[in-house]
Amino acid sequence: MSAQKLTAFEGAVLAGLADKAGLAAALLEAWAYLPVDTVQSARSLVDAAQFGVTEEGSTRDLLERSVGLGLVEATPAGFKPRSGAHMRFQRLAFALHAVEH
């Protein structure tokens, strides 16, 4: 994978999360440092990103949108990265930070 050019999948994720780019970037950045096989809830990601509870609803919305984009999948206990997606979280966070600015 090129370090310069986004894949079609990454571009679709960026387009799908661009309206909340700052929040999405912070959440993906925090999630990138968590173990790949752990299930996360909106609350656990808010805690990992060091946000307040006021961001929990927006985080839940982003997670649900991310399911539709193929980035994560829903489980009974929360959300987990789709196969191979976790390794892209830091790269996507970087790109989303750029979109925010």
CATH of the domain at 27: 1.10.10
Domain presence at residue 21:
yes
The owner of tokens 């912070």 is: 26
- Calculate Rg over the CA atoms of the chain: 12
Asked if residues 78 and 40 have their Cβ atoms less than 8 Å apart, the reply is yes
C-alpha pair distances (Å), 57 with each of 2, 42, 85: 34, 8, 23
> In this predicted model, what pLDDT tens digit does every residue of 3-22 receive, in sequence order?
678 999 999 999 999 999 99
Domain presence at residue 65:
yes
Classify the phi-psi angles of 39: left when phi > 0, otherwise alpha if psi is within -120 to 50, otherwise beta.
beta
DSSP 12: H
> In this predicted model, what pLDDT tens digit does every residue of 36-84 receive, in sequence order?
989 999 999 999 999 998 999 999 999 999 999 999 999 999 999 999 9
Domain presence at residue 3:
no
Which residue range is the domain that position 69 belongs to? Answer: 8-100
Pair type for strands 78-81 and 72-75 = antiparallel
Domain count, the chain: 1
Which pTM was predicted? 0.91
Domain presence at residue 84:
yes
